[in-house]
Structure 1
Amino acid sequence: MATWEDLTAFVFDTYRVIDREDDEIRVEVEFEDERSQVIVICREVLDNREEWVQLVSVCGLADRVDLRAVLETVGHNSVVCGLAIIGDHLVLRHALPLENLDINEFTDPLSLLAGSADEIEETFFGGDGF
């Protein structure tokens, strides 16, 4: 996979797409326990030349959680993903260069991010709101 268009086609064939804009696709990942997690897949361009894809999932509202406890959990349990605050939301996110991207370099982090975000949401926010 080398372009945003290639990735977009793969995402539409493989995942449950719930929304689409030019440089953004939202998919819903469902789990066996009837929980689900929305993942935002965004096209980013660095320095007007390098295309990247960013995976983002909202865990909850940042002002309603012990950030140190969440950071410690992510530090101990997550191989991929970084924790960030975007607007009012606490999110997990991961970024990958599109050039020479192998499919497992996309699907594995997306799956790990979805599971981790859902676990954080359940553990620290007590629900399934995002």
Structure 2
Amino acid sequence: MRVTTWTDVINYVRVRYEVMEDTDGWVRFRLDTRDDRNQQVTMHHVTGDDHVDWVELSSPVGWADKIDLRKFLELSGSSIIGGAAVVDGVALLKHTVPLSDMSIQEEFVAPLEALVHRADAMEHELTSSDQF
């Protein structure tokens, strides 16, 4: 069985998506969604307390001080993917997947696309804009 590495995931993203920023340990990129909308995603390489490597995906929904946070939490709670967070004043939908033994197509792309489409729909509902 082939072990998937952080480099494998980064290379997959670089080839398929518009990379906006790429630094050691994280990448920010953009995906097209629907109706000429697009959505940013940040992907971090993180190591858990158990020394297991993970890929953390996050996609912004809006500025926390400009959206209804209660509605944001309610919408997040009704999603089968992702969890709500606020980081540096930005409301995010986040999801984490284990890196080792990852099938990029099934265990990375499927959650990535689900997260992006959900975050975009939430952004549209909460802000009526496409800022992120």
Give the TM-score normalised by structure 1: 0.92
**Which position in structure 2 is the counterpart of 1:24?**
26
Moved segments of 4+, more than 4 Å: none
Alignment RMSD: 1.4
Give percent identity, aligned residues only.
Answer: 33
Q: What CA distance in whole angstroms lies between the structure 1 residues aligned with 2:38 and 2:129?
A: 11
User: Secondary structure of 1:38's partner?
Assistant: strand
Matched letter for residue 99 of structure 1: S
User: Secondary structure of 1:32's partner?
Assistant: coil
Distance of aligned partners of 1:83 and 1:35 in 2 relative to their CA distance in 1, 3 Å threshold: same
Q: What CA distance in whole angstroms lies between the structure 1 residues aligned with 2:76 and 2:89?
A: 19
1:23-102 mapped onto 2 (5 Å cutoff): 23-47=25-49, 49-76=51-78, 78-102=79-103
Matched letter for residue 82 of structure 1: G
Matched letter for residue 13 of structure 2: V
Give the TM-score normalised by structure 2: 0.90
Greater shift, 46-55 or 88-97, is seen at 46-55
